[in-house]
Structure 1
Amino acid sequence: MEEIIIKDLYKYYGDNKVFYNLNLKFTKGKITMVLGPSGCGKTTLLNIIAGIDKNYSGQVRVNRKNISYVFQEDRLIPNLSVFENVAFVIKSGEKRKDIDSIVNKYLEMVQLEEYGDKFPDELSGGMKRRVALARALAYNGDLILMDEPFKGLDFELKNKIMDKFLQIQMEKKRTVIIVTHDKEEAQKLGDMIYSLD
């Protein structure tokens, strides 16, 4: 069953052709990797799927209720702690102990459980990236869009986090689209891989 269908997609920036008659299908409950070099339109594709970019022609059908998005920029709230940044996206109806449990689960996944009381300006770029990833996963989205989510992480840490992410994905079975330029990352995570060039 397809969660997202893109048919006859055309997208231009002025005279610059980004997509020309692009056709893709994304399967519900699977991880699809979109692989390609910088400037090939990976971020634009995510923004179109998310409904942020509406300036295109063609059909984009997205069967989703809630979208979680790891942007290229970390977009953390500067006056909230790491713990509060992750908790911010959890529905207010949740009980306090449940919120704590969810936040701690995802901070542990990205190996930042000891940094919950720190603020974004106290973190390195890679740590901010991991907080953004934890926050996106803590939000109970039907569809998760990730724009280079492991960028800036060293090899060993990245692989540990990817392993934990795959374990969580086996439980949750969410529809995930990840864009990357890293072939090994695509092969490790992807149930399906599309290559844009």
Structure 2
Amino acid sequence: MCKRYGDKRIFNNLNIDFPKNKIIVITGPSGVGKTTLLNIISGIDKEYTGQVIFSKDIGSEKFSYVFQEDRLIPWLTVYENIAFVLKSQLQKEEMKQIIHKYLRLVNLYEDKNLLPKALSGGMKRRVALARAFAYESDILLMDEPFKGLDNDLKKQIMDEFLQIWNENKKTVILVTHNIEEAEVLGHYIYKME
């Protein structure tokens, strides 16, 4: 794969494999192309040469994405923000069970009727994680999901993330510039320079 922004070359003949059902961490300094890589993998960015190939057993190549920003819909409750991405996939009762399951896993069940403006930054990150895992996808992309959290809250949310991952073992591609996060979470770590 090759990628340029004008005269700036981001990737030149990048070749990388991501093992299925593992947590792969991509680390490196700001501006090196980590988010660009996620956007290419997900199909958000189509302006590159080369190709992204999925193994035949991946299936539908559906993605969940935890962006750097929370991207919660401000006029919807916590419950409704998760339901929003599930409506086209599930019947009402099954959707309710799945939402409640993930809200319990991230310790937000009691807060399910709050609007995003009533949530702390850490609570918003947990809603984003619950929403990404609840959505039936093959690959979970995470872009700096713990950015801006204090150490205690980051550890708590990372523990919750690993608990959720252990239940369904999705392929996760996680971008961070934090080496500690990479070492704690990653089965494989790629460093971009």
| Superposed counterparts of 1:81-96, under 5 Å | 81-92=77-88, 94-96=90-92
Scaled by the length of structure 1, the TM-score of the pair is 0.88
More deviation, 122-131/54-63: 122-131
Does the aligned pair in 2 maintain the 1:30–1:176 contact within 8 Å? yes
Deviations 1:146-169 (A, max 9, x none): 111111222222222222322322
The residue number in structure 2 matching 1:18 is: 10
Alignment of 1:99-178 (within 5 A): 99-178=95-174
Q: Indicate which of 180, 185, 188 corresponds to 1:189.
A: 185
Give the 3 Å change call, closer, same or farther, for CA 92–22 of structure 1 in structure 2: closer
Find the counterpart in structure 1 of residue 41 from structure 2: 49
Secondary structure of 1:45's counterpart equals helix
8 A contact 2:105–2:164 mirrored in 1: no
Q: What TM-score, normalized to structure 2? A: 0.89
- Name the residue aligned to 1:73: 69
Matched-pair contact (CA < 8 Å) for 2:122–2:153: no
Amino acid at match of 1:80: L
Percent of matched pairs sharing the same residue: 59
Question: What's the counterpart of residue 6 of structure 1?
Answer: none
Distance 1:96 1:111, change over 3 A: same
Contact 2:133–2:164, Cα closer than 8 Å, also in 1: no
User: Could you tell me which residue of structure 2 aligns to residue 180 of structure 1?
Assistant: 176
Give every structure 1 segment of 4 or more consecutive aligned residues whose post-TM-superposition deviation is greater than 6 Å. Answer: none
Residues 122-170 of structure 1, C-alpha deviations (whole Å, 9 max, x = no match):
2233332221121111101111001111112222222222223223222
Q: CA RMSD in A?
A: 1.7
Partner AA of 1:51 in structure 2: G
Residues 37-78 of structure 1, C-alpha deviations (whole Å, 9 max, x = no match): 111111100000001101111221134421111112222112
Partner residue in 2 for 1:5? none
